[in-house]
A and B are shown apart, each in its own frame.
Chain A
Amino acid sequence: MNKKAELFQLFIHDNNLQKAFHVSEHYQDTRNFVLFTSSVEIEARRLKLAVILEEGLPTLIRVWIGSPECCESQDTKKLLRLINELNLNYKSFKFFLDEKKGVLMDWINATSDELFDPNLIHFMLGIINREAKTVYAVVFQGHVLSH
């Protein structure tokens, strides 16, 4: 397991958050990364969320706001305009349609192993939990973007 994942796992253990995450380690070519998967609950739905920690600088938290099935009924052009609005209005997050036509919300940061701060990840998860609900309502329930 890479250093950042080790530190985050220790944080999870120390703060009794083991039940909130499913942890899995992956190897792709020479790349080692660890997924800490969880979810954001919106009414009866659960949006998949993953903290992706790997060797190297980047740290990523990803939320699958809309699955391809959810987006199927949406007009792609309209969706891309909405995604552009979200990218303009939410400075900390990035939104895009992936190749399967699902709507993704990313928080991306960079730190060295030595200065990696699990508290920051935990803090951002709180913000993401709140904002993902707002974004979901904008994309799928017709709410007006008022960020």
Chain B
Amino acid sequence: MNKKAQQFMNYMQTNFNEGEFALKELQDARHTTLFYAYIKVGEDLSLKCLVLMDDTQNILLRVNLKEWAVCLPLDMDNLLSTINQLNCNYPLFKFYYDVATRTIALEMIYVAQDDRFEPKILQNYLAWIIRYIPDMLQRLN
């Protein structure tokens, strides 16, 4: 396991509920570790959340706001305009539509070397995302 993932695991033990994240370690040269969670939005909606850490200084946080979003060509222009508005209004996060997977994703990259990694920052980001997800989804609907 890479060092940042180990730090994050240690931090989770005291700062997250047990079992909140599922973990998967890839057997690759970069020692990639994936943390999966579901963000519950209301009674019947949960959004997939992924945190990816490896030996590089980049940590990826992604939330799938909509999966299998079917976009007719005519709707695509409206969708991309709404996504651009989200990009304007939420400066910390990036939003895009992945045509291949039909997913509207929210992403951020947190850049930190092992000795400067602060797990609390990831927790802060997650808290911000959870706070603003209802607004984001409302705009996308």
Contact = CB atoms under 8 A, between A and B. Distances in A.
A109 B111 contact: yes
A130 B93 CA distance: 23
Contact of A80 (B81, B93, B125): B81
Interface stretch (B8-16, B21-29, B84-92, B132-140): B84-92
B20 interface: no
Contacts of B17: none
B84 A80 contact: yes
Contact of A84 (B92, B97, B111, B121): B97
Contact of A88 (B88, B96, B111, B116): B96
A92 B58 contact: yes
A108 B124 CA distance: 15
B69 to A, nearest CB: 13
Interface string B54-82: 00011010000000000000001100110
Given A84-B83, A84-B96, A109-B110, A115 B91 contact: no
Interface string A84-103: 10011001101111110000
Contacts, number: 72
Interface residues of A, number: 28
Contacts of A12: none
Interface in B86-141: 87-88, 91-98, 107-113, 116, 118, 121, 124-125
Nearest to A93: B94
B84 A97 contact: yes
Given A60-B91, A84-B83, A97-B84, A111 B116 contact: yes
B125 A110 contact: yes
Contacts of B91: 58, 60, 106, 108
Chain A at the B interface: SS class: mixed
Contacts of A10: none
A80 B77 contact: yes
Contacts of A97: 84, 88
A94 B87 contact: yes
A80 B87 contact: no
- Most chain A beta carbons < 10 A, residue from B77, B88, B94: B94
Interface of B: 57-58, 60, 76-77, 80-81, 83-84, 87-88, 91-98, 107-113, 116, 118, 121, 124-125
Interface of A: 57-58, 60, 77, 80-81, 83-84, 87-88, 91-92, 94-99, 106, 108-112, 115, 117, 120, 124
Given A77-B77, A115-B112, 19 more contacts: A77-B80, A81-B76, A83-B80, A84-B80, A84-B83, A84-B97, A87-B96, A92-B111, A94-B87, A95-B87, A98-B88, A108-B109, A109-B109, A110-B110, A110-B121, A111-B118, A111-B121, A115-B116, A115-B118
